[in-house]
Amino acid sequence: MALIARRAMARMRDARFASRDSLGAVPAPPVYADPAWRVRYRALDPKNVDCTALAAALNDSAWHVRLHAADLVNVTCAGNADILATLRAWLPAVSKATRASGDAAWQPAAHALVALARMVPAEALAALPSFMRNDSHWVRVYAAHAAAALADTLALRTLARDANDNVKEAAIDALSKLTGHADDALFIAALGAKGYQAVRAGAHALKGIGPSPELRRTLLAATIRLRRDSSETSRDARTEVMARLSEVADVSIAADVAALASDFDCELAKVAATLATKLGVATASHCTPFAHVVPADAVQLAFGADVRLRVVMAKTSGGGSFVVRLRGDVAPIMSARIVALVKSHYYDGRAWHRVEPDFVIQGPSPDDNEYVGHPRFLRDELGTVPHVRGTVGMSTRGHDTGDSQWFVNLKDNPRLGRDYTVFGEIVEGIEIADGVLEGDVIERIQIPSSMKRSAQPSRASAARDTAAIEMAAAIAARAIVGQGAVFDDRETIDSVGASSWTQAIRGAIASAMGLALSTVRSYVDCTNACRLIGDASVYTLERPVITGDTAVVWLGHVFRQTIGRSKIGRGRHEIVVARRGGDWVFVRWGTVFST
Q: Does 364 sit behind a cis peptide bond, omega within 30 degrees of 0 on the bond before it?
A: yes
Beta bridge mates, 426: 324
Amino acid at position 38, single letter? R
3-state secondary structure of 385: coil
Looking at residue 109, what DSSP letter applies?
H
Q: How far apart are CA 376 and CA 338, in angstroms?
A: 12
Element (H or E) spanning 431, and its range?
A: helix 430-434
Q: Do 172 and 160 contact (CB within 8 A), yes or no?
A: yes
589 vs 291: CA distance, rounded Å: 9
The one-letter code for the residue type at 243 is A
- CA 150 to chain centroid, in Å, comes to 35
Q: 332: cis peptide before it, omega within 30°?
A: no
User: Which string of DSSP letters, residue by residue, matches 297-330?
Assistant: HHHHHHTT---EEEEEEPTTBT--EEEEEE-TTT
Closest residue by Cα to residue 296 from 591, 590, 575, 588: 588
Tell me the whole-structure pTM to 2 decimals. Answer: 0.75
Q: For 281-294, give the DSSP string.
A: -----EE-PPP-PP
Element (H, E) at 583: strand 583-593
Task: Judge contact between 383 and 416, C-beta under 8 A.
Answer: no
**Model pLDDT, residue 583:** 56
- Name 398's bridge partners: none
End-to-end CA distance of the chain: 26
CB 111 within 8 A of CB 86: no
Return the number of other C-beta atoms located less than 10 Å from residue 212's C-beta.
10
For residue 409, the SS3 value is strand
d(CA 14, CA 7): 11
Please give the Cα distance from 192 to 555 (Å, whole number): 44
Task: Please give the Cα distance from 128 to 224 (Å, whole number).
Answer: 38
Cα dihedral: 214, 216, 221, 222 (round 10): 110
3-class secondary structure, 130: helix
The contacts of residue 527 (CB under 8 Å, 6+ apart) are 556, 570
**Cβ–Cβ under 8 Å, residues 395 and 377:** no
pLDDT the model gives residue 17: 57
Is the Cβ–Cβ distance between 337 and 378 less than 8 Å? yes
Question: In whole angstroms, what is the distance from residue 16 CA to residue 521 CA?
Answer: 18
Identify the pLDDT of residue 512: 47
Do residues 35 and 434 touch, judged by C-beta distance below 8 A? yes
Which pLDDT score, from 0 to 100, does residue 546 have? 62
DSSP for 219-238 reads: HHHHHHHHHHHT-GGGHHHH
- Show the 3-state SS of 470-527: HHHHHHHHHHCHHHCCEECCCHHHHHHCCCHHHHHHHHHHHHHHCCCHHHCCCCCCCC
Cβ(314)–Cβ(105) below 8 Å: no
CA distance 232 to 83: 46
Contacts of 236 by beta carbon, 8 Å cutoff, 6+ apart: 196, 200, 371, 397
| Of the candidates 505, 511, 522, the residue with the CA atom closest to the CA atom of residue 556 | 522
Residues of the chain with pLDDT under 70: 1-4, 6-8, 10-25, 449-595
Residue 494: strand pairing partners: none
pLDDT at 158: 98
Q: Name the strands in the sheet holding 422-428, side by side, starting at the edge strand that comes first in the sequence.
A: 354-355, 360-363, 406-409, 391-394, 422-428, 321-326, 308-313, 442-446
- pLDDT given at position 96: 97
Helix (H, G, I), strand (E, B), or coil: what is residue 49? Answer: coil
**Cross-strand pairs, 579:** 584
Condensed to tens digits (0 to 9), the pLDDT of residues 519-562 reads 444 333 333 333 444 444 555 655 556 666 666 666 666 655 54
* Strand, coil or helix: 99: strand
Is the separation of the CB atoms in 448 and 308 below 8 Å? yes
